Amino acid sequence: MSLPAWQRSHGQPLFSARLRSQPEDFVVIEELGWEPSGDGEHDYLLIEKTSANTDWVATQLAQYAGVPVKDVGFAGLKDRHAVTRQWFSVPRWHSPDWSALNLEGVVVLEVTRHLRKLRRGAHRANQFRIVLRDLVPSAPAATNERIEIIARHGVPNYFGEQRFGRNGANLRLAEDWARGKRLSRQKRGLAISTIRAFHFNQALSQRVADGTWDQLLAGDLANLEGSASVFEVPVVDETLRRRCADKDIHPAGVLAGAESEELPDQWRSALARARVEAGNRAFRVGVRHLEVEHGEATLALQFTLPRGAYATAVLRELCEWG
């Protein structure tokens, strides 16, 4: 199942390129944004993994420490086909010796302790370093101009294509679940998140087409930069316009729930059965510390995004890739 061609905000792609030619071409470094306490009953491990799935690493850590995998914590799922640094928490019930851990593609960089399990969404941001190869055509001047626009205005906060699976496989899974197919707890969660992501991207694409993805409208929710806080905007005054222009607040859209009337009936009924409550997500994401380095038919990008934002939302405003 092919995905819709969701609207771009800053113009058509400037070039095509190869992405993830090798794991080292896609580097992700997690920023917790806070310091573990240094004591407590949970070991906190800063791990560098190469071509390894986050869930797989969590399972291996649980087996090594002799604890249930559900008690291993991490702040977010990270790309498999990449080099990533992220934190895991593991109960230290059996005092595991982490210096003896031997897993292919996994290196323990730091060990500390904390009082509580690491929860999803507990990190602040992710740093990215991405190398694009085999650029066709290579247009440094136009690329630099587009980079400046992205840095100044941000990009639409789309869920990345990976959320929907290869060739839209997760959408097919979601439709099967909505029609009543029984799924495991993990796959049911994937189906729910896919429905919500697809609906959000559709609404955001319409705002991009309307030219209002980065503007507050009366009746919007406003998301406070760097937080999950939102407030209603019954009227847009000059102060709110200025705060939005300064990216202190962002217009936010709905993550669908059981009461979302704009959903197709089958999807709404499925979310109602699962008792999914509506949430929200910013329509715009700021791109911090954006730097670019041109090479011979290559382009290296560095930037930082808040948690939950996708690097591909930045790349799609610049190029196409394969």
Exposed, middle or buried by CB within 10 Å (0-12, 13-18, 19+), for 304? middle
Name the active-site residue from 25, 43, 79, 220.
79
The predicted pLDDT at position 226 comes to 87
The predicted pLDDT at position 181 comes to 94
The predicted pLDDT at position 2 comes to 73
Mean pLDDT of the chain: 96
265-273 vs 185-210: helix axis angle to the nearest 10?
A: 140
Exposed, middle or buried by CB within 10 Å (0-12, 13-18, 19+), for 293? exposed
The predicted pLDDT at position 167 comes to 87
- Segment 18-49, tens digit of pLDDT: 999 999 999 999 999 999 999 999 999 999 99
Can you point out the beta strands (E) in 120-233?
A: 125-136, 155-156, 220-224, 230-233
- Residue 79 bears catalytic tag: yes
Question: H or E element: which one contains 291?
Answer: strand 288-295
Core vs surface per residue 150-165: b (16+ CB within 10 A) or e: bbebbbbbbbbbebbb
- Segment 175-214, tens digit of pLDDT: 999 999 999 998 999 999 999 999 999 999 999 999 999 9
pLDDT less than 50: residues of the chain: none
The predicted pLDDT at position 89 comes to 98
Pairing of strands 220-224, 106-114: unpaired
Helix (H, G, I), strand (E, B) or coil at 78: coil
The predicted pLDDT at position 1 comes to 63
The predicted pLDDT at position 107 comes to 98
The predicted pLDDT at position 81 comes to 93
The predicted pLDDT at position 113 comes to 98
